[in-house]
A and B are shown apart, each in its own frame.
Chain A
Amino acid sequence: MMAEPLLAIEDLRTYFYSRSKRAFIRSVDGVSLAVAKGETLGIVGESGSGKSITAMSVMGLVSAGPGVISGRIGFRSDRVERQLLEGLDTCVALRREGGRVMAVEKDDDRWAGQVEKNMTGIRGREISMIFQNPKQSLNPFETVGRQITEAIMLHTSHKIEQEAKEKAIEWLDRVKIDSPRLRFDNHPFGLSGGMCQRAMIAMALSCEPHLLIADEPTTGLDATIQSKIVDLLAELKSELGITTMLISHDIGIIGRLSDTVAVMYGGTVVESGPAKDVLSCSPEGKHPYTAALLASIPSSDAVREKGHLQAIEGDVLDTINIPAGCRFYGRCSRVTDKIREKCDKQEPDLREIASGRRVRCWLYFE
């Protein structure tokens, strides 16, 4: 039923080795996701649940010292078909002593070379990315217009500077920056945060990529600008039909823009399915974490009734000492006596409970 996925992530594990703790920080721990062509996948979760690291793994931006990746990321468009993690595991050797990883030896140069090889022709051209904090994502010493022109000349068939410049102005206009011809010559510090984010979006889309990864595109902007950026993204989505992977901790934005939603907790996907089912109000057939997350969205009614904001009890999972059982067990309010034993000892897998809906919870399994 589902169309051929553009991006298929299978069992992605991105670990960072902590020398002082002699252990892996398991930022992403077995994530499987698929983004179909033309679809918007929303990834939602608390800070530290591994959303951004997933995106960075896809883009090959995980290089920081002891980062280790395993799993498969397949990308397939009508222009290229590529395994994005190919050969990376051969660059890393683990030294174990008594069942503990005592050192990670990583051949940084080969790793960098392999990433470069895997990503040539992908970055920018096939997959482009917009980041949170737009002001820091643009080179402060170069005018906005020239940065966009540079990207266009690099990735599209517009190789003549004048032509690329016209194209850049067209894109600035398209993301609704007013008087784009004047803004073209502005440096990033001359623009507001919202305008910088618009320019970033223009830069990302001007290369006509197949997949857009938006990593918290509205974080760091104030509320009115946020809603304008979301409007813009929604409009561009319906206009261009671009496949998007949208990462946010703001459920409102995810609900607005996504077709399917994946909820992440502690480095894994705990629930995925069509947006309207996953984000509906009824707790029926939902992972307890999703239900708790939805219940904690502040609303004026809830505050008036209870007099305080609803929060999820407990802390975010410590990704070094991951429990043997369900990752959410310690904070779960819906454990029944019947399944308590299982929740504590054994991790549930992500199972399909209804068409297109997968949940990782013992509640719904026999």
Chain B
Amino acid sequence: MKSYSQQSGEIGEFSDLPFWKKANSVDLAYVTYGLLVVTLVIASYLLGAFKLLPHDPQDIDLELMMAPPLTPKHVLGTDFMGRDMLSRLVVGIQAYFLPGLLAIFIALFLGTILGVLAGYRGGKFDTVITYLTNLIDSFPRLVLILLVIAAFKPDIYVIMLVVGITNVPAVASLVKGKILFLKQKNFIEADIALGLPTGTIILKHILWHNCRSILIIQATLGMAEAILMETSLSYLGFGVQEPTPSWGNMVLAGSNYFMKGQFWPSTAPALAILFTILGFHLLGDGLNNILEGKRDK
């Protein structure tokens, strides 16, 4: 008797397997790599924050300028002022980590609120929010950021504020679309008929159960975008200013020596940017496929 009930339980719960057992191995590899990158980013941030570095990133050593990689004490070599590349690379993440989180938080927080208002309440809210998001969307982002920099100062937090706000429309329309889709199913109506408070329906039944995966994915993509945006600005000279290292201004500083065969000062941060952004994108992509079950269909 017991074995029978266990057996039927197993059959019934097949579809309730934890997601990592059902997932495609490619997606798992994506997510594993992505999580590795996230771990490295967090670790670098902590190392930088607690100053656990082989060298002071600002320490100028005029005897050892442009030392190639694998020089004793300088694994990745030094730059044109003899500063340790590895230390600067690790500290460089400081420029992205908190500002990137700020951008993500703004985009998700405002985007979700606007999306819920537009999707759940509809009517006038929907009209106003659609106009608002179209307005933000119609501005070229880089131009907007340059304008803001010109008006205030090239502060990374100001830049990320703008990046976050310009990401709001994307999140809002995703959430709104999801809610409109869910409204066609009856369960929200059934929840209302059951007398659940509106807050519970929105927070628990809509956002937590049905929107969390798209929000997680948006967060990972948002981080990648924040890094890329800072990098482009730094390369143009508008981002984080010397001597504070960021990957963008390290590429810029190193680019003068690239053609002379001294490739490491620009290549190392460029590769760091490449693999980090790749990691965030693959993480988002893999999570999307696993959580939303895209590959099966």
Complex-state Cα separation, A204 to B194, whole angstroms = 7
Cβ-based interface call for A187 (8 A) = yes
Q: A133 touching B193 by the CB < 8 A rule?
A: no
Complex-state Cα separation, A203 to B193, whole angstroms = 11
Cβ-based interface call for B192 (8 A) = yes
Complex-state Cα separation, A318 to B130, whole angstroms = 36
Known: A137-B187, A190-B12. A123 touches B192 (CB 8 A): yes
Nearest B residue (CB) for A121: B195
Known: A108-B123, A179-B5. A128 touches B12 (CB 8 A): no
Q: A139 touching B205 by the CB < 8 A rule?
A: yes
Complex-state Cα separation, A203 to B195, whole angstroms = 12
Chain B residues, Cβ within 8 Å of A200? 190
Complex-state Cα separation, A136 to B186, whole angstroms = 5
Complex-state Cα separation, A187 to B18, whole angstroms = 13
Complex-state Cα separation, A146 to B187, whole angstroms = 14
Known: A186-B13, A190-B12. A119 touches B185 (CB 8 A): no
Distance between B62 CB and nearest chain A CB, rounded to angstroms:
62
Q: A141 touching B210 by the CB < 8 A rule?
A: yes
Cβ-based interface call for B196 (8 A) = yes
Count of chain A residues near B, Cβ 8 A: 39
Nearest A residue (CB) for B193: A129
Q: B9 touching A179 by the CB < 8 A rule?
A: yes
Q: B15 touching A190 by the CB < 8 A rule?
A: yes
Cβ-based interface call for B16 (8 A) = yes
Of the stretches A77-85, A147-155, A222-230, the one at the interface is A147-155
Cβ-based interface call for A138 (8 A) = yes
Distance between B125 CB and nearest chain A CB, rounded to angstroms:
9
Would you give the 0/1 interface string for A179-218, flagging 1 where the beta carbon is closer than 8 Å to chain B?
Answer: 1001101110110000000001001100100000000000
Q: A136 touching B195 by the CB < 8 A rule?
A: no
Q: Which listed residue, B16, B187, B189, B193, touches A187 by the CB 8 Å rule?
A: B16
Cβ-based interface call for A131 (8 A) = yes
Interface residues of B in 205-220 (CB under 8 A from A): 205, 209-210
Q: A123 touching B195 by the CB < 8 A rule?
A: yes
Cβ-based interface call for B61 (8 A) = no
Chain A residues, Cβ within 8 Å of B187? 136-140
Q: B12 touching A183 by the CB < 8 A rule?
A: yes
Q: B16 touching A185 by the CB < 8 A rule?
A: yes
Chain A residues, Cβ within 8 Å of B209? 139-142
Distance between B289 CB and nearest chain A CB, rounded to angstroms:
17
Nearest B residue (CB) for A142: B209
Q: B13 touching A185 by the CB < 8 A rule?
A: yes
Nearest A residue (CB) for B188: A139
Distance between B288 CB and nearest chain A CB, rounded to angstroms:
16
Q: Which listed residue, A65, A183, A186, A207, touches B194 by the CB 8 Å rule?
A: A207
Complex-state Cα separation, A186 to B193, whole angstroms = 23
Q: B190 touching A137 by the CB < 8 A rule?
A: yes
Distance between A153 CB and nearest chain B CB, rounded to angstroms:
11
Cβ-based interface call for A44 (8 A) = no
Q: B186 touching A182 by the CB < 8 A rule?
A: no
Cβ-based interface call for B8 (8 A) = yes
Q: B194 touching A131 by the CB < 8 A rule?
A: no
Cβ-based interface call for A59 (8 A) = yes
Known: A142-B205, A142-B209, A190-B13. A150 touches B196 (CB 8 A): yes
Q: Which residues of B come within 8 Å of A, CB atoms?
A: 5, 8-9, 12-13, 15-16, 123-124, 185-187, 189-196, 198, 200, 205, 209-210
Taking A179-B8, A182-B5 as given, write out 11 further A-B residue pairs in contact, using a Cβ cutoff of 8 Å, ordered by the A residue number: A108-B123, A119-B195, A121-B195, A125-B195, A128-B193, A136-B187, A140-B185, A140-B209, A154-B196, A190-B16, A207-B195
- The 6 tightest CB contacts between A and B, nearest first, are A124-B195, A123-B195, A141-B209, A137-B190, A124-B194, A129-B193
